[in-house]
Structure 1
Amino acid sequence: MAPRPDLDVDDAEIAELEEIARQVRISIIEAVNFAQVGHLGGPLSATDILTALYFKVLRIRPEEPAWEDRDRFVLSKGHSAIGLYSTMAHRGYLPVSELMTFDALHSRLQGHPEMTHLPGIDMSTGSLGMGVSAAMGMALGARVLGKDFVSVAMVGDGESQEGQVWECAMSAARQRLDNFIVIVDENRLQQFGWLTDRSETGFRNVQPPHLPGQLADKWRAFGWRVLEMDGHDMRDILRTLAIALEKDEEHRPTCIVAATVKGKGVSFMENDYTWHGKPLSPQDYARARADLGATDDAGEQVSR
């Protein structure tokens, strides 16, 4: 069995991971702008966590994506696929230039992850709630095969309204799957917001999917070990994931509730649910790239 990476990193390594996350965000903006379709808010909220996983935490081999002893990762919130593709591209699974084929006909990079198209995708996802259940099956498979890999799933807080998520939570706790980690990207917004208040100009988004602390309490109630972290603080992400990788004395699966900001890194997208998924205008594209410190001309809109 291959050793696990050391997650006790210095300031220089933190800065390097933060720079990678910035580049991943730029690639997300460029790919969605080029395609003129795709999601933005959710991928941007997940970027720091995905960067930490793929560049430091997961035991993986980009040059050997089907390595039998690799850790498994499932993006259950599959509509954020461009965030995963961008992270994988910068990690070496595919050329960064291929991101410009996102959502194109015959591309390996469709709007939701497709395991039969792109090596390194452990599960096709898109129907909310199904990915986390598949990841639980992988954790069970590791036990049956006598493997020490961990299975990690990322779910959205909006996705957490799906009953299948809680069926999985109940089953994983019953099976005592201490090699199973679920990360909840709690950006507190979903596709259409929460339309609970009407003003003179229409509906306003005033109510998040869950009140503070509710998700953590729910996972605890299902028998999980629950950790909480700042999903944009790279050091806190690594610290929390290091704890999650340690076997729980009670053999419980682990849920990490990550406090994140939808649209993180792009000022006018942050905490605005309307940027869940819509095309960028040329002006929006320029502003987003400026916010992220991009300096080249990649990803201009073209006719397709």
Structure 2
Amino acid sequence: MTKPPLPDSVSVPARQPTLRQLRGFKEVARHASFSRAAQALALSQPALSAAIRELEALMGVALFERSTHHVRLTPAGLAARAQIEWLLNSYTQGAEDLRRLLDTQSATVRIGCIPSTMHLLAPVVAQWRQRHPDIALILSDHLNDELMAALGNGELDIGLGLDFGLTPGLAAAFVAEDDLVAVLAGTHRLARRQALTWQELKSEPLAVLSRGSTYEMIVSTLRQQGSDLAATDTLNYTDTLYSLVRAGLRVGLISRLYTQGQRQDGLAIVPLQRPRLTRRICLMARAPEQQARAAVRRCYAELAERLRVHNVE
């Protein structure tokens, strides 16, 4: 018997991917192999292959290139990977939060930042904790690329870091502008200058921190200025950099935020010009329309307000 057509006013909900399909996609992308992914999921390979075919049919696009020798993500699969991982992480975290909420009547907000901004973040987080003792906070520090990835895949709820172009689905509130400076021993011949150009440091023994976006900015600028990168020390820790600078062995190149959490006795902090390099510090989270957890929305709004006030002061 033929079913009568649905009235125009009745819309049929679109089918949604299942957790089994999404988990299958994640493991195949991770292992680049259907057989290894099936083992990780405790599924038969035919069942996993069927789940991936169903997901591709549902999405209307091929997610994997398959041959007898390899399994690779298609461009569409690469584009979808971060969102699918975020959906799975959000589901897992949401289920854990629900269990914790029902057990302890509390919620959790996971906040990350790049190391140079922790001294900005910690005081306002402490104020938030006093006002909302029922909300559990988890704090962590990350390199900026790691921070952006964790926000994108749902491992973090809120991040304070550098805005070099936001991942789709993220929102940002500008907090501060951070510039690169030279750190010199107080006895250095250039220590009393109001500002320095990069060319004036060309012949100086330099030291920079080894990782992250700031390192890439500095190295690119030194290369443009014709500096000898082989004579520049690349260090892992700020304490090492400051020790070398205090002893007069090196001139440090670092972001100004890194100088604000350090003892400045015996040091001179001098702005760098021509070119002046700056970084935009932003508080970031999932866009409000994609953020279902009220505790995260409330925390993000209050931290953004307090960080802006702190920066103005």
TM-score by length of 1: 0.22
Identify the structure with the greater helix proportion.
2
Identify the structure with the greater strand proportion.
2
TM-score by length of 2: 0.22
Choose 1 or 2 for highest CA Rg: 2
